[in-house]
Amino acid sequence: MGEWGNGLSLLLPEWQGYGLSADVSEGARVLARHWWAGEPHALIDAPDHEVLTCDDGVLGLSSIEARARRTLTLLDRAQPARLVTLGGTCGVELAPIAYLNERYRGDLAVVWLDGHADLNTPQSSPSSHFHGMALRTLLGEGPVPLVELIPRPVRPAQVFLVGTRDLDPAEREFIETSGVTWMPNALFGGPQALTSVLTSRGFGHVYVHFDMDVINPTDFRNALMHTPGGPLLAEVADVLSTLHRLTDVVGFSVLEYCDRDRADRERLLTVLRAVQARSCCS
Ligand SMILES: [Mn+2]
pLDDT per residue as tens digits for the range 43-93: 999 999 999 999 999 999 999 999 999 999 999 999 999 999 999 999 999
Residue 55 CA from chain centroid, whole number:
23
Query: Residue 59: beta bridge partners?
Result: 54
Q: Are 225 and 115 in contact (CB under 8 A)?
A: yes
Whole-number Å distance, alpha carbon 83 to ligand 1 midpoint, is 18
Helix (H) or strand (E) holding 89: none
Whole-number Å distance, alpha carbon 110 to ligand 1 midpoint, is 13
Whole-number Å distance, alpha carbon 147 to ligand 1 midpoint, is 18
Whole-number Å distance, alpha carbon 199 to ligand 1 midpoint, is 25
Whole-number Å distance, alpha carbon 133 to ligand 1 midpoint, is 9
Whole-number Å distance, alpha carbon 201 to ligand 1 midpoint, is 24
pLDDT in tens, 150-189: 999 999 999 999 999 999 999 999 999 999 999 988 777 7
Whole-number Å distance, alpha carbon 125 to ligand 1 midpoint, is 14
Distance of CA 95 to CAs 123, 164, 269, Å?
Answer: 22, 22, 25
Q: Is 182 helix (H, G, I), strand (E, B) or coil?
A: strand
What's the pTM value of the predicted model, to 2 decimals?
0.96
Distance CA 157, CA 110 (A): 9
> One-letter amino acid identity for 124?
S
Whole-number Å distance, alpha carbon 163 to ligand 1 midpoint, is 11
**β-pairing verdict for 58-59 and 181-183:** unpaired
pLDDT in tens, 111-158: 999 999 999 999 999 999 999 999 999 999 999 999 999 999 999 999
Whole-number Å distance, alpha carbon 213 to ligand 1 midpoint, is 7
Whole-number Å distance, alpha carbon 79 to ligand 1 midpoint, is 26
Where does 7-281 sit in CATH, by number?
3.40.800.10
Sheet holding 7-12, edge to edge: 42-43, 7-12, 82-87, 249-255, 206-211, 109-113, 159-162, 181-183
Residue 260 CA from chain centroid, whole number:
20
Whole-number Å distance, alpha carbon 255 to ligand 1 midpoint, is 8
Domain boundaries, the chain: 7-281
Q: CB-based contacts of 240: which residues, under 8 Å, 6+ apart?
A: 208, 210, 271, 275
Whole-number Å distance, alpha carbon 222 to ligand 1 midpoint, is 14
